[in-house]
Chains A and B, each alone.
Chain A
Amino acid sequence: MAFLSKKDRALILDPLADNNPITVQVLGICSALAITAQLKASIVMGISVIGVLSVGNVVISLIRNIIPSKIRIIVQLIVVAALVIMVDQILKAYSYELSKQLSVFIGLIITNCIIMGRFEAFALGNGPWRSFLDGIGNAAGYALILVIVGFFRELLGSGTLLGHQVLGDPIAKTGLYAIGYENNGFMLLSPMALIIVGIIIWVQRARTPKLIEEN
């Protein structure tokens, strides 16, 4: 990333760790709970949000000086909704299989707080290129947490990763299951996602003391 200035690099790298949208800004928790029961779903959702947030940030940034401040939230909502519908329609026409797999996420993207949060906090006050980087960075930070949570939930809940049985066959009792291991069905329910996110926040704060608020 030599072609990026130090400030620009920070736009991409900060949200991956010290300013992560989920664990630090606590945005986008809802979708992090809803779709992380499988690793594949987490990855797909992560990629979709990277696409929508980076393009959306650029669009908002381009029209930031002409948006009336009274209705800016509505304008932001229209931009996300229009982008998402366009992507949905194009996928349905040219890549029907993929659009079937994405169906549920397409709708969830609109409701994702990170998107509106970044439009409001960043794109409205910065130029298109920086907004683009900010979009990529924040969405990637979001995707990173999703993938971590999805990895543990699918592994411990279903004993699989990306649909492959990595711990043996629970019905035929092979692999780990032969010595009495059982899948934890609780992992598949949303409360466990919150607990895993909590653990990630705990580990992150323990390692990075500057994140801890002083009372």
Chain B
Amino acid sequence: MAKRTDSNIYTIVFAVIMVIVVGSLLAFIANTLKPRISENERLEKMQNILYAMGINNNNPEKPNSVVFIPVTEAGKAFNQYIVKQYVVEGNNIAEGDAFSIDLAKEEALAKNPSYQKRLPIFVGKKDENTYYIVPLRGKGLWDAIWGYISLDENLVIQGAFFDHAGETPGLGANIKERFFMDDFIGENILDASGNFAGVTVFKGNNDPENQRKTDNKVDAISGSTITGNGVSAMISTYLKQYYPHIQTLVNQK
């Protein structure tokens, strides 16, 4: 005898009820938690931007660990150190609310050719030094990668922070480790003749300690070629768009 649960009607009714129950449960949870989650993300973004301009609690005795400033201080420190925010739209640059710009959303909107992509630039000041901090976004092996790079007035990298959504632990995920990110500090993004060159994550450049700062290259991580190429690509795509505007800002000063 066929079981009650084998009939088609039972199956369909069960499926419908299951979808409604699980769907509303998840929607309820997502909606309830949304304010907390977006607040966490907002504070994290502040921590990341400040990290790139060198405002972090990295411990000199632990050269391998990334330590942000505490979440509770992020908002205050952000207002203190980030003195100006600019928004680039096409060839124009104007002061504006750069913090609320989400590069992922801008990229999605920019698929429509009539949309003018907006790019944020943050200007930070610490100990009389000015930092120009720009966000980057690109593709790794499995998922999105992103980061923040701070440049000084000569377009030399002063700090870098990278993060990823799902790169392989132990391989591509190492782009968010100090030994990789710190290699970028001091690298020029222009070549010797002043043209844009970016910074390439390069295999076998025989410079594991990264002593050569003007070669536009940093040492790659073994086993994470595609993630590394993704980092090179996002640096070259985005910094190419940012650097003329940063030069404008430097000249305005």
Query: A residues within 8 Å of B by Cβ?
Result: 34-35, 37-38, 41, 65-71, 74-75, 78, 82, 85-86, 89-90, 92-94, 96, 100, 103-104, 107, 153-154, 157-158, 163, 171, 185, 188-189
Contact = CB atoms under 8 A, between A and B. Distances in A.
B222 interface: yes
A104 B30 contact: no
A153 B223 CA distance: 14
A103 to B, nearest CB: 6
Interface string B201-239: 000000011000000000000110000000000000000
Given A34-B168, A104-B165, 6 more contacts: A69-B5, A69-B6, A78-B22, A93-B37, A104-B166, A153-B170
A157 to B, nearest CB: 8
B46 to A, nearest CB: 13
Contacts of B3: 69
Contact of B5 (A66, A93, A158): A66
Contacts of B223: 185, 188-189
A89 B33 contact: yes
Given A38-B169, A89-B37, A104-B169, A67 B29 contact: no
A94 B36 CA distance: 8
Contacts of A96: 40, 44, 71
28 contacts: A34-B168, A37-B170, A37-B171, A38-B169, A67-B14, A68-B5, A68-B6, A68-B14, A69-B3, A69-B6, A70-B11, A74-B15, A78-B22, A82-B26, A90-B29, A92-B33, A93-B33, A103-B165, A104-B165, A104-B167, A104-B168, A154-B170, A157-B170, A171-B208, A171-B209, A185-B223, A188-B223, A189-B223
A66 B71 CA distance: 47
Identify whether the interface residues of B are mostly helix, strand, loop, or mixed.
Answer: helix
Interface in B145-176: 165-171, 173
A78 B18 contact: yes
Contacts of B115: none
Q: Interface range on chain B: under 10, 10 to 19, 20 to 34, or 35 or more? A: 35 or more
Contacts of B33: 89-90, 92-93
A209 to B, nearest CB: 35
Interface of B: 3, 5-6, 10-11, 14-15, 18-19, 22, 25-26, 29-30, 33, 36-37, 40, 44, 64-65, 71, 142, 165-171, 173, 208-209, 222-223
Nearest to A154: B170
B64 A68 contact: no
A95 B44 CA distance: 12
B246 to A, nearest CB: 29
Contacts of A66: 5, 14
Contacts of A188: 170-171, 222-223
A89 B29 contact: yes
Nearest to B40: A96
A140 to B, nearest CB: 21
A78 B223 CA distance: 34
A86 B11 CA distance: 25
A65 B3 CA distance: 11
A65 B30 CA distance: 30
